[in-house]
Structure 1
Amino acid sequence: MNLKKTLSVALATLFLIACNHKQFVQKNNTYKNGVVVTANLFASEVGSDILEQGGNAFDAAVAVQFALAVVYPRAGNIAGGGFAVIRTAKGESESLDFREKAPKAANESMYLDENGNVIEGLSQTGHLAVGVPGSVDGMVKLHQKYGSLTWEKLIQPAIDLAKNGVRLTKLEADKLNAYRERINKVNAGKNNCCYIKDTEFKTGELIKNPQLENVLVRIKNQGRNGFYDGETAELIISEMQRGKGLISKEDLLGYESVWRPALIGKYRDCKVISMPPPSSGGIALMQLLKGAEEFNLGQYQFGSLEHIHLMVELERRVYADRATWLGDPDYCSIPKEKLLSDEYLTNRYSNIDMNGKSDSQDIKAGNVEVIESFETTHFSVVDKWGNAVSVTTTLNGNYGSKVIVKGGGFFLNNEMDDFSIKPGVPNQFGLVGGKANAIEPEKRMLSSMTPTIVEKNDKLFMVTGSPGGSTIITSVFQNIINAVEFKMNAQECVNAPRIHSQWLPDKVYVEAGAISPTVKNELQNLGHAIQEQSRIGMMANIVINEDGSLVGAPDTLRHKDSRAIGY
């Protein structure tokens, strides 16, 4: 069976089983002057409008980030953090780290009881789970360095959305209902907030958020000080005191996002530009791509036993390295050059057996399980000049810590769970870590976010990224190899069914339709434990055609509200 037919069958199965629809019509999202791809229609519209008004990709990214805080509260945020990878029209690149930090009062044993055992849920729900937010400072720095329109113009669309209200899609109503009881419990007594209801949220219901509107007005008028100082900061501190959280006024005033050199790698005839630590995404992605090239992954049929088995074996080793070596580079020494060297990786992959499964226990000891769902969000932007930005931002879990700032109308993150709260103990995504990612005051927690830009023949080729906790890295990896090895177009890359493996737990997660029954049996005969997932990742792709046209590819198969909008 040829690649196109194999992919067609797999996608049909994925569509019918996982999405439960009868047909799918994909708009040809090809544009001449600029395109924005996000997880939400309203946010994509905001970004596209900024581009049409003469703004550049970085202006649009700022506007989208604040709009998402209103229209996509489970992951869009002003009290979370993230990473941005940028490439200017001149071909210059760098990255912006606006990852959250541990409060000054944090310590390595803060989630352990007197016997040294982890207190279940303490790092995931409630005030103690919250890291010092970085999103607002990050957007301020992005605008200061690369913006062209006024700050006020970029914040106003989010203010208008909060004031006038946003009608809930079915997807967002269902998600709010799924978490409604937990949100209500954590926020008892805050009955004037739009996210707290005794009755279910309805599709089409108009949600206005005057509290968030006021916060956004302060950010519009005062910039960084509108969040980290003054009235908004006092609301955050009061909320911390109410729930015995750790973030202080000093923490807020002292937070700074950081410009870092982008991580640059080569794959086939492509230049890959990704995020360095404290994201693990860039290093892990480069390791996976080097392995794919070394084993000539493209020689195998898409979805075949060899294709899936090889990806799993590469991923298992890369995630073991992640757990051992990676953390905040300001607090630990990361052997980046060694981890990415040909000599190291050739040796690392030398024991891969195409006729047998490696045991994760032999790679490194441990045993964990994935225990909670995830939510992050990614958006990609390219403008008419060729500037590009890839941004992944998060509260960590759905609605973060579930804590809403009283009087502020926004959710706080639960990023402290991304630290290694105890060596060998998994976070909510089943990821384990060691000393390199242990909790320390003002340290940034390790992340899997992998915003990435790809060049081909020195020209902008692809802007990509995904949410999905631990699955982000493998989703971006598969998206790139789908384009380069299997010659898929922008939408085919996004739609193609995905698999994921992360060393521990010793399983292979597959979307419905990702592998045929025959390949599943063959993988199991090799010793792989297969577990179906309803969704792995959610790409937001932009591909630049040879003629310079821009193709936006949203992941509507997995997330119906995703949109690519341009002009």
Structure 2
Amino acid sequence: QPGDVLRQPDLARTLRRIARDGRNGFYRGPTAEKIVATMKQGGGLITANDLARYEAVYRPPVTGTFDSLTVVSMGPPSSGGALLIHMLHMLEDLPLDSLGWNSSRYIHWLTEVERRAYADRAEHMGDPDFWEVPLSMLLSKAYARRRLATISPDTATPSTQVFAGDPASYESRETTHFSVVDQAGNAVSVTTTLNTSFGCGYVVDGAGFFLNNEMDDFAAKPGVPNIYGLVGAEANAIQPGKRPLSSMTPTVVLKDGRPWLVVGTPGGSTIITTVLQVILNCAVFHMDVQEAVSVPRVHSQWLPDVIMVEPRSLTRDVEANLQAMGHVIVPYVWGEIGQVNAIRITARGLEGGADVRGSNTAVGY
């Protein structure tokens, strides 16, 4: 109830072990023993040796440009940064401002671009330690223009006719995001996740935290969707030691070489398109950051072959125009798309944008 005090002594002891012993406070010793015991109770396969051998890997960010802005985001095994930049490259040559925000033409182009990006995601993206991800292709403006040229300005392309590009031809809901900028101008964008709400539903007994269900981010079977409706192929198949493909898209946008926008969100497969729309809202439609994160959003991801919408995101005329083009429009299954936390750096100082969709807060001190 509001006003109650939640005490988590098991979690406090876990955090103290990590503070005292670093990674060994989690991957070895009492915490690891508790994880393995909970795994055995639930029929899991992770052993003490698996935990002891685990190492975090530094991955370089991916970088692209949109007009005069430089976009820096997360690289594989997250698909977020590469797809975000790929979509921005496709949209860069379009007169988005004259189309008008959330007009039928704007939503049409946005949807068609997203379809092609997610088709590439399904076919080509996975853990780069196990799969040759064609990053040079996905980040190429020439490739983006070729993909854009396959879009009709007046007619929806059925997803059955949208195919991944050929690299041989070219070089949770239980997710949390925070954005931070300090007085020296350093900017941090961080996204973490359990995947879906409460992860796999198991709390590590005596340690005070949930186990994730990130296995759902693998392609368990080619062409079969996961909980977010995403399909995958061999690039994201399950293998020992492999990291699953993610949609997390923590992003810093630079203007004149300095941080201008720090942004990210939870939302599963909608994360990438949510960050895309917030950047466009700020850069193209000149919204302040609070408006940019709060206005209604839409989402498409190749399969299923629909435009998913929030309540009141489209006018009746816009919806009718899109349907006349061949688009199928459905309410987003969870109602709200994303919960963005963003900061924009201006000459006057910092603007915080906390999404009205959840218990998000902007704080300055």
Structure 1 equivalent of residue 169 of structure 2: none
Contact 1:467 / 1:539 at 8 angstroms: preserved in 2? yes
Residue 325 of structure 2 aligns with which residue?
Answer: 526
Q: Residue 209 of structure 1 aligns with which residue? A: 8
1:554 matched to 2:345: no
Q: Report deviation, 1:204.
A: 3.3
Match of 1:243 in 2: 42
Query: Is residue 509–residue 532 contact of structure 1 (8 Å, CA) maintained in 2?
Result: yes
Which residue does the alignment assign to 1:346? 145
Distance, in Å, in 1 between the alignment partners of 2:153 and 2:239 is 42
1:260 matched to 2:59: yes
Q: Indicate conservation of the 8 Å contact 1:437/1:445, yes or no.
A: yes
TM-score by length of 2: 0.95
Residue aligned with 1:566, SS: coil
**CA distances 1:148-187 after superposition (whole Å, capped 9, x unpaired):** xxxxxxxxxxxxxxxxxxxxxxxxxxxxxxxxxxxxxxxx
Instruction: Tell me how large the CA RMSD over aligned residues is.
Output: 1.2
Contact 1:265 1:271 in 2 (8 A): yes
CA contact (8 A) 1:374 1:429 kept: no
- Give 1:26-37 correspondences, 5 Å limit: none
Alignment of 1:401 with 2:200, yes or no, is: yes
Alignment coverage as a number of residue pairs: 356
Structure 1 distance, partners of 2:303, 2:173, is 17
Following superposition, the deviation at residue 305 of structure 1 comes to 0.8
Q: Give the aligned residue type for 2:360.
A: S
* Structure 2 unmatched ranges of 5 or more: 165-171
How far off its partner does 1:221 sit? 1.6
Contact 1:317–1:348 (CA<8 Å) still a contact in 2?
yes
SS state at 2:202 partner: coil
Matched AA of 1:552: G
* Native 8 Å contact 1:277 1:326 kept in 2: yes
How far apart in 2 are the matches of 1:424 and 1:540?
33
CA apart distance, 1:298: 2.2
Shift of 1:203: 3.6
Within 5 Å, which residues of 2 pair with 1:78-117? none
Equivalence for 1:566: 364
Q: Offset of 1:362 from its aligned partner?
A: 0.8
Conserved? CA contact 2:59–2:76, under 8 Å? no
The code of the aligned residue for 2:52 comes to L
Give yes or no for the alignment of 1:505 onto 2:304.
yes
- How many Å apart are 1:206 and its aligned residue? 2.4
Q: Unaligned stretches of 5+ in structure 1?
A: 1-201, 366-372
What is the rounded CA distance, in whole Å, between the counterparts of 2:323 and 2:112 in structure 1?
14
Deviation string 1:203-252 (CA, Å, 9 cap, x unpaired) is 43322111111111211221211111111111011111112211111111
Cα shift at 1:340: 2.0
How many Å apart are 1:280 and its aligned residue? 0.3
CA shift at 1:564, angstroms?
Answer: 1.1
Instruction: Provide Cα deviations, 1:406-458, integer angstroms capped at 9, x if missing partner.
Output: 11121000001100000001111000000000000010000000000001112
- Asked if residue 539 in structure 1 is aligned to residue 340 in structure 2, the reply is yes
The superposition leaves residues 359-400 of structure 1 with CA deviations (integer Å, 9 ceiling, x where unpaired) of: 0011149xxxxxxx7221111011111111100100000000
Alignment of 1:223-302 (within 5 A): 223-302=22-101
- Report the counterpart of residue 16 of structure 1 in structure 2: none
| SS of equivalent to 1:259 | coil
Mapped partners of 1:307, 1:467: distance in 2: 24
**Deviation readout 1:275-330 (Å, 9 max, x if unpaired):** 11001001100111011112232221112111111100100110000000000000
Between the aligned partners of 2:2 and 2:308, the Cα distance in structure 1 is 31
* 1:411 and 2:205 correspond: no
Contact 1:281 1:447 in 2 (8 A): yes
Select the residue among 84, 98, 119 that pairs with 1:320.
119
Structure 2 partner of 1:462: 261
| Residue type at the aligned position of 1:535 | E
Letter in 2 for 1:545: T
Name the CA distance, whole Å, in 2 between partners of 1:223 and 1:396: 24
Higher relative CO (Cα under 8 Å, sequence separation at least 6) belongs to 1
Q: How does 1:169-184 map to 2 (within 5 A)?
A: none
1:279–1:448 CA contact under 8 A, matched in 2: yes
Looking at structure 2, the residues matched to 222 and 270 of structure 1 have their Cα atoms a distance apart, in angstroms, of 41
1:431 paired to 2:251: no
State the partner residue of 2:167.
Answer: none
The reply to whether residue 357 of structure 1 matches residue 182 of structure 2 is no
User: Alignment identity in percent?
Assistant: 49
- Output aligned runs, 1:52-91, within 5 Å: none
Equivalent pair of 1:424/1:433 in contact (CA under 8 Å): yes
Which residue identity is paired with 2:99?
Y
